[in-house]
Chain A
Amino acid sequence: MRGLRDTRWDHLLDVLRDRRRGLSLAIATGLVWTVGKISVPLLTREAIDGAIDVGGSALGWALVIVAAGILTGSLTAARRYLAFRESRMVEMILRGRIHDHVLGLHPGYHDTAQTGQLMSRMSSDLNQVQMFVVMLPLTLSHLALIAGVSVVLLITDPLLAVVTLVPLPFINLTARRFSNAIHPAVLAVQSEQAQLSTVVEESVAGVRVVKGFGAERVRMEALTTEADDIREVSMRAARVRARFLPVMELLPSLGLVAVLGLGGLRVLDGSLTIGELVAFNFFVTLLVWPLRSIGMTVAFAQRAAAALERVHEVLDVAPAIADPPAPVDVPAGGGAVSFRSVTFGYSDSLVLDGFDLEIAAGESVAVVGATGSGKSTVARLLLRFYDPTSGSIAIDGVDLRDLRVDDVRRAVGIVFEDTLLFNDTVAANIAFAVPGLDPSADHERIRSAARAAGADEFIERLPEGYGTVLGERGFSLSGGQRQRIAIARAVLSEPRVLVLDDATSAVDPSKEHEIRAAMGAVMRDRTTIVIAHRPGTVAMADRVILIDEGQVAASGTHVELLESNPRYREVLAADSVRLAAGGES
């Protein structure tokens, strides 16, 4: 069905339907506003012809005009407010939809999607849509205004009306052409600005290189090129403005000249009054802005269409990992895990090829393998981040694909290689994996998880203890402290199976023992998979398996493998060439 007609607008139309009440109100207000706008020049005409020109008092008319002014003023405010409210509302709803959709998409999608791209879908693209939506009710009332004014002018003096109105459509045309010409120029300026920004960012980030080689002059040349480019494209944009904007100012003036010239002759003929002449003058000025804005609306619509197409592309991605139609509950059990002839690869490279692994409930297994051997893939498959190409993975005897996705992820807790802390308090970060847990009410549970992870002591020493805000904009912790928060997070959710993905790799080796102590405590009596590089960590597990060429190449205790398997020794050695005291000072 798709592809036969333009589906880009579907999402927007859907939201607009939801907002039809507010939009109708905005449109209705705009129509009444039109009546007010037209009435003021008409009343002015009456005041001049009926009073001033004949030497009478214009006070009565003045009062009526003030009344019309109050009406028009309030409606100007109201129609603007309603139009913006609806457009911001539409923007908000669409942003929520994109966000919610993307957040639920399978990790395979996020592997290839760029964060920056997705963010501009939710910011600059929706901005384009918003700018178009706000113009919708406004443009409708502008059209009504143009129609109303034309009717009034035609009734007053058809010939003069035609002569006056002739230059005006060109305003619309010029506005549209201007908008289309300025848009690429503005984009060019933005792109040049981005290039300059790259030069600056790199020069600041690479200041040690610049200083170390005395390369200031080379960087200065690069910057000068970019600054010159910006000036050049900005001047190009200025030339576009200089070409169109004066024309847009010129056209209504020509209308005014026509009014004065032809209208003046008509007054001399006696077929037109001075009041009507002034009213004509007012009406011409009145039409300028509506005509310009209609031209802009057309251009905005084109940009909104392009933006909506990009939005559409994101919203159209179907989640590859979803709940089965008839999910079963997780059976009672201690967290036995089995991989049966699992085959899996990213895009075209095969990572696991007939991988078999049985882990008994409560057992801890260390997974060892060279870089790229698929150690972390094992963890990700167990979380059902991906589905295997063939074979099956089960927890306590049930295939993951028969369970609800969230049930799988509650059963499996993971500590990732790089710990991500959210911009929230320590307590909230630990409570992260237990939605519904109130960090202030269940303080004791959070504390005991932190204690098990060996984190309680340093948390208490933070400026505001468990209430300290972490994350990019908050307090920054060391690698080891972050890891212990992550372990506490995993412990608190009480998973059947705990996966520790390289939990010690980001840590200064001299602090490694702190993490190991924490790991030891949480591994006790729990099915645990440890993905590790360092011999000390590997040795903590009941059993070690070596992954090589997509399969379990060896299985046994650390000591056994160390003695019997040369490949095992090789892999471990490659990972520990580092001196026991590294890091930067």
Chain B
Amino acid sequence: MWGGGAVAPEDRLDGAATRRVIRRAARLGRPFRRTMLGAVGFVALATSATIAGPLLVRHGIDSGIRVGDRAQLGVTIVGYLVAVTVAFVGSRGQYLLVNRAGEGFLRELRLRLFAHIQRQSLGFFDENKAGVLVARMTADIESMSELVQWGLLQFVSAGILLVVALVVLLSLSWQLTLVALLVLPVIVLASIKFQRDSNEAYLGVRERVGENLSSIQENLAGVRVIQASARVPEQRRRFGESNRGLFDAHLHSVRVSTWYFGLVELAGVVATALGLAAGGWLVANGSVSVGTVVAVVLLLASLFEPVQQLSQLYNTVQSAGASLHKMFAILDTEPDVDERSGAIDLPANGDLLVDGVTFAYPSTSTPALRDASLAIADGERIALVGPTGAGKSTLAKLIARLYDPDDGAISLGGRDLRDATMRSLRDRIVVVPQEGFLFNGTIADNLRLARPTADDAELRRALDRIGALQHIESFPEGLDTEVRERGSRLSAGERQLVSLARAALVDPSVLVLDEATSNLDPGTEATVERALERLMEGRTVVVVAHRLSTVQRADRVVVCDGGRIVEVGTWDELAEREGGRFAALVAAWRSDQPVG
């Protein structure tokens, strides 16, 4: 019944890596060692009771039935009942304990991984795709939960069963066992082949499923284009092909397992036949009893199941190993923007100084910002303008220490940002991103993101300070309104208001803004504008500007181009400058003509 797992060839671990993964997993699982030991105890209990069955049958036949001793038969029955009860208790215990240890381990892994990912700087998030990070935390760990729920248990119990059954069989009659086990090599070889083929087949199915799902998604997302292009029949035909491909992959995977199951069935029967043939001869010889023959034949049946289980589990264990390996790689990544030891608080306010800063994003070689210097007075309002890729957003991010410069320094009130405590940094300098990004939860939850300890009155004050209190309180549930995933229940403007209120709650001395490029709903646009204006009052403001009105309200304009600061000055100075970059931008806007 195994859905199984599979491991792609490139993810397969070599011996050394496997040992490392096991060692680290063991270290991570140390808190659950006792539970795990208890679980193994229960597994051993249940397994030995399973093996005891055929032995008791042997005793019943040889010492009871064949010699006519009813008392011995009674003893056997009582023994059997005890074994059955022990198996029952052991089985219950193993399910509970294995799961307790396993789920505890997975919880630990989730927490560690998430905490570690969160400690990373933005550079880490640029380098690692969001989808991959999410997959590590979700799909990869979930794939291991199957192993935790069933696999680990089966793995241990199959292993114990296999060893114990072999020992018992050999001690009952080594001759009989050896003859009957002539089929074992065939089973082992078949299992190895099956394990390889099924791994490959599983990967094939997974790929086809992914391909099929994305072609469904593409067709649903593009249904208007498809219909407008009168292309429905063609897309249906193509989907038919994809559908057929998925079917073929499934069929291939069934074929791979089908012959194996047939062969295992056959081998079981052949082993019985061999046991009976050899048993008949040995009984006639007088070297074994009839009861022994029966016990061996019954035990043989319990030998094949564990071999099958182990071969099917092998792929799952491998893929779990590969997942763990990737997770450990993340846990090994040291955060590159972190608090220095002996860091001290930033001063409450002061001039912001950008001094000869050069910075390149981790995955690129050309700097996004070169040798940028800028002195911003306490309380001054600066607008950053320039075309796409000019470096204005980069400069804003560096000012908020979302990255550290490669060269040069940024300081507030004379203190280098890298020497400051993270807490004081986030209290003094706040970035409000382009789009109001909200998290699942209530509006209050979203505001408290900025200050977890704030009470409702403080939240209201923050909203009031930017003039948004009335709007939020007009919702039936006010602050307790659930905003849903990514704030989807609120309009873009309302999301922006909550986002601005967050900043107001922190009450920073420096505000870094990335202005929205897209239109807001007309109803809230004006409210957001006002809120922004009130938030900016009395603070040092650096705004990445897209709106003309914002630029006009700034004390000074900084024009970026090609990663350099090319012009700095007031609107009037720059707009009048003959042949200036900013003058060209303003002219282009005024005439709505393309700029070269």
Contact = CB atoms under 8 A, between A and B. Distances in A.
A257 B77 CA distance: 6
B261 A260 contact: no
The 7 closest A-B pairs by CB, nearest first: A69-B269, A77-B262, A73-B266, A58-B280, A513-B594, A214-B426, A238-B99
Given A84-B251, A115-B221, A410-B230, 6 more contacts: A57-B280, A62-B277, A69-B266, A80-B262, A99-B216, A220-B114
B462 interface: no
Interface in A530-546: 534-536
Interface residues of B, number: 162
Interface in A406-446: 406-407, 409-410, 412, 414, 416, 420, 422-423, 432-433, 435-436
Interface in B435-458: 437, 439-441, 448-450, 452
A554 interface: no
B219 interface: yes
17 contacts: A48-B294, A52-B279, A52-B290, A62-B277, A66-B273, A84-B258, A88-B250, A103-B219, A122-B216, A189-B145, A218-B452, A239-B96, A241-B149, A414-B228, A422-B218, A585-B392, A585-B560
B387 interface: yes
A3 to B, nearest CB: 29
B328 interface: no
Contacts of A422: 218, 222
Contacts of A28: none
Interface in B189-245: 209, 213-214, 216-236, 239-240, 243-244
Given A204-B130, A267-B65, A493-B229, A278 B254 contact: no
A302 B223 CA distance: 33
Given A48-B290, A218-B452, A585 B266 contact: no
B306 interface: no
B65 A264 contact: yes
Interface string B272-298: 111011011101100000100110011
B116 to A, nearest CB: 11
A246 B273 contact: no
B53 A193 contact: no
B375 interface: no
A576 interface: yes
Contact of B485 (A80, A202, A281, A576): A202
Contact of B134 (A59, A65, A200): A200
Contacts of B322: none
B302 to A, nearest CB: 10
A268 B92 contact: no
Interface stretch (B349-357, B532-540, B541-549): B541-549
Contacts of B60: 260, 264
A230 interface: yes
B585 A580 contact: yes
Contact of B433 (A63, A202, A203, A212): A212
B265 interface: yes
Nearest to A321: B227
A224 B53 CA distance: 46
Interface string A45-65: 001100111011111011101
Nearest to B426: A214
B430 interface: yes
Contact of A103 (B80, B96, B226): B226
A577 B570 CA distance: 20
Given A69-B265, A208-B433, A409-B230, A274 B594 contact: no
Interface string A206-233: 1111111111111110111001101100
Interface stretch (B9-17, B100-108, B340-348, B410-418): B100-108
B434 A274 contact: no
B564 interface: no
B366 interface: no
B174 interface: no
Given A268-B70, A410-B230, A471-B218, A242 B95 contact: yes
Contact of B224 (A257, A416, A423): A416
Contacts, number: 454
Given A99-B236, A257-B84, A203 B228 contact: no
Contacts of A238: 95-96, 99-100, 103, 149
B169 to A, nearest CB: 17
Contacts of B213: 119, 123
Contacts of A202: 439-440, 485-486
B142 A383 contact: no
Contacts of A278: 294, 297-298
Nearest to B76: A260
A197 B53 CA distance: 46
Given A220-B115, A579-B385, A208 B402 contact: yes
Given A69-B269, A536-B592, A250 B84 contact: yes
B388 A508 contact: yes
B81 interface: yes
Interface size class for chain A?
A: 35 or more
B594 A55 contact: no
B158 to A, nearest CB: 15
A103 B73 contact: no
Contact of B589 (A81, A88, A274, A580): A580
B545 A88 contact: no
A59 B274 CA distance: 8
Interface stretch (B21-29, B118-126, B307-315): B118-126
Interface in A280-329: 281, 285
A85 B248 CA distance: 10
A582 interface: yes
Contact of B250 (A69, A84, A96, A228): A84
Nearest to A93: B243
Contacts of A493: 229
Given A239-B96, A513-B594, A579-B548, A420 B111 contact: no
Greatest chain A CB density within 10 A among B297, B439, B517, B546 is at B439
The dominant DSSP class at the A interface is: helix
Interface in A357-414: 371, 383, 385, 405-407, 409-410, 412, 414
Contacts of B440: 198-199, 202
A184 interface: no
A184 to B, nearest CB: 16
A583 B558 CA distance: 16
Contacts of A516: 594
Contacts of A25: none
Greatest chain B CB density within 10 A among A75, A231, A410 is at A231
A148 interface: no
A56 B431 CA distance: 92
A9 B281 CA distance: 58
A197 B111 contact: no
Interface string A234-269: 110111011101110110011011001100110110
Contacts of B145: 189, 234
Given A61-B276, A204-B133, A410-B230, A198 B485 contact: yes
A104 interface: yes
Greatest chain B CB density within 10 A among A212, A406, A422, A473 is at A212
A74 B368 CA distance: 67
B276 to A, nearest CB: 5
Interface string A179-205: 000000000010001001111111111
Interface string A471-512: 111000000000000000100010000000000000011101
A115 B255 contact: no
Nearest to A372: B522
B474 interface: no
A443 to B, nearest CB: 19
Contacts of B422: 214
A481 B231 CA distance: 23
A84 B412 CA distance: 69
Nearest to A84: B254
A69 B95 contact: no
A584 B397 CA distance: 12
Contacts of A193: 138, 142
